[in-house]
Structures are given as structure tokens and as C-alpha cells.
Amino acid sequence: MGTPEFPDLGKHCSVGDCNQIDFLPFTCDSCNQVFCLEHRSYVKHHCPKADRKDVTVVVCPLCAKGVRLIPDEDPNIMWESHVNTDCDPSNYEKATKKKRCPVPGCRETLTFSNMIRCRDCSVDHCLKHRFGPDHKCPGPKKPDSGFPFISLLSRNQSRPNNSQTASSPKWATSFLNAASSVKASAEAGMAKLSIATNQALQMAKDGIGQSSSGNGHVEECPQCQAKFASVTSLIEHVERVHENGSNRAAVKKVTIDACPKCSKGFRDPVSLVEHVEREHGGTSKA
């Protein structure tokens, strides 16, 4: 066989009745013998190891999972191993139950080709009810009416401390402490101003510290430091300028939240959040 240039060219077919010389022989991947074009298949040369390439799968009636049977191994042993380790009866209903369109009265089975997820409610529907008015879409979920950044801080504090989020709880705590301290200072200052105003008004109404233009005594407003020649003028000024509604002794409290990074004050919490996300990236350490 072969030529002086190619001494290994061509081989005989392993089938005894054939024994044909084939210059392009085929090697069986199961029995590793050489065959000609006619006897290359498992059936033609009666391959004794052809079953090793077969894939046999048995569906478990308990969990609806496929159990592959390996050749040359006892199927009973493999079945027992699956039942003891991988079998989960709770998966049966999930695997066998067909997903249908959630619209009342629609029994369309949802498959890969006829299923569309709504962009607003994120629920899968059939092609017939893919539009919002067809399945009465409630629309996107509304955000919380409260301060959104506080909920974010709460979630960060509830997460476990690891290498990636170790600085987040510290920054959140520092932010809350700084905001609380500034708010408490502002409330204390406004309360002190309110007490001073009430005392001045009470003294004026009781006749204490009355003055006239003749003795040169000047009355001073405790809020704006304006000068008045008489107590009556001071009372009229306070009632006209600094009083709020029927509750004359009440002074409107102003709540100020401070940025933990640059200490800039904000009356609106939403403005504070926008400032932190815009100027400090939302992740700056205090």
C-alpha cells in the first residue's frame, strides 16, 4: 500500500467481508477501527460500543427534571442517587405549569415568540394585550413621597459591612449627625428669639419700661434692632412686621439641613440631595 512518497496512504476496511483499500479511510470514534465509506456508520459495521455515544434521559415524575443514564452503569443506582440528592418535588408545578397571559379572560399561553413585557408595569403579556390600555396598565410605580435620600441611607446602614460598602454607613451616619446638629442649633436660635420677643411685648403691655420722646430713651426691636421713640410704636411695629396670623407669640421655625462635605445649608431636603449628587457624586465621605 501507499507510494514511496506517502507510504502510509490508504488502509484496509476492518470489515472481514469487505477488506477494501480506502485512501480516505474513516476511524470509528467508539471502537477506533478503520472502515471504508460504505461501512463507516455504527449500523453498517455493527459497532459493539455504539451505545456509549447514545444520550438517554429519563424525566423524573416527582420533580420533572431530566436524569441522564450513563452507559455501562446500573439505571437503578443512578435513579436512587437523583432521588436522594437532586430531586425537588416543589419544582414539578413550576416546570409543568404553562405561563399564561394575566389579563382576565385571556387563556393565551406565553411562549418565547408571543410574549412581550410591558415597559411600565414590567409584566409579561401576549401580543394581543401588549399595549397598556389593552391590559389596563397601572403605569410605572410611583416613587415614595418622603425624602428619597433617607431611604437610601437606611438601606446602606442595613447592608452587611464588606470591603465595597464599608465607607457608606460611616458617611451616612456622619451626614445624619451633621444635619441633626445644624437643625437643633437653628431651632434653638429661633426659640430664643421667640422668647425675647414675647418678653418685650409683655413688658410693653404691662407698662414696664415705658418711655417718651421727652426723656430721650429709645426702644429697640429685639428682632430687627429698629429704633422707636415710644413703646406704642414698638408694639405696632412688631404686630405689623413680625407677627404671623392670629398667633402673635409664634415665630415660624426654619429647618436647615447642612451638607456633610462642604457645610452648605439648604432649607429644602430635595435641594440638599441634588447638591450632594451633583457636587460630591453622592458617595463622598464626610
Consecutive H or E run containing 56:
strand 56-59
Residues of the chain with pLDDT under 50: 147, 162-167, 208-215, 245-252, 284-286
How many of the other CB atoms lie within 10 Å of CB of 258? 20
The 3-state DSSP composition of the chain as helix, strand, coil percent (nearest 5) reads: 35, 10, 55
Q: DSSP character for 108?
A: P
269 contacts 255 by C-beta, under 8 angstroms:
no
Instruction: Report DSSP letters for 126-141, one per residue.
Output: ESTT-SGGGTT---SP
Kindly give, in sequence order, each residue whose CB lies less than 8 Å from that of residue 232, ignoring residues fewer than 6 positions away.
none
Burial (0-12, 13-18, 19+ Cβ within 10 Å), 223: middle
Using alpha carbons only, what angle is made at residue 130 by residues 127 and 135, rounded to the nearest 5 degrees?
120
Q: For residue 150, with 0-12 CB atoms within 10 Å meaning exposed, 13-18 middle and 19 or more buried, which class applies?
A: middle
Model pLDDT, residue 169: 57
pLDDT at position 34 is 92
Q: Give me the pLDDT at residue 63, please.
A: 87
Q: What is the model's pLDDT at position 159? A: 54
Q: What is the pLDDT of residue 35?
A: 92
pLDDT at 214: 45
- Give every CB contact of residue 283 below 8 A, 6+ residues apart in sequence: 167, 168, 171
Q: 233-271: per-residue pLDDT in tens? A: 777 887 777 765 434 444 445 567 778 778 777 777 778
Return d(Cα 129, Cα 116) in angstroms, integer.
9
List phi, psi (to 5°) of 140: -65, 155
| Grid cell at residue 95 | 416546570
Write phi, then psi, for 80 (nearest 5 degrees).
Answer: -65, -40
User: How many Å apart are CA 273 and CA 266, to the nearest integer?
Assistant: 10
- What pTM value is reported for the model? 0.28
Task: For residue 53, give the DSSP letter.
Answer: G
In residues, how long is the chain? 286
